[in-house]
Amino acid sequence: MQFATLEDLGPTEDIVEIVHPSKGVLKIKLLLISTEEIEDIRKKHKWPRRKPSGTRINPQTRQAEPFFDEESYREDMNEAYTGFMYKIIAHSMLEPRVDGDDDDDRVVKLQRALGGWALPQLVKIVNEKYGISPEEVEATAENLQIPI
Q: What is the pLDDT of residue 138?
A: 66
Domain ranges of the chain: 6-144
d(C-alpha 84, C-alpha 138), whole Å: 11
Element (H, E) at 135: helix 134-144
pTM value? 0.74
pLDDT in tens, the chain (148 residues): 565 665 656 557 888 888 888 778 888 898 888 888 888 998 898 888 777 778 888 888 888 888 777 888 888 888 888 899 999 988 888 878 888 888 888 888 988 888 778 888 888 888 888 777 767 666 666 665 533 3
Cis check for the bond before 48: say yes or no (omega within 30 of 0): no
CATH of region 6-144, choose from 3.30.40, 2.50.20, 3.30.2220, 3.90.930 = 3.30.2220
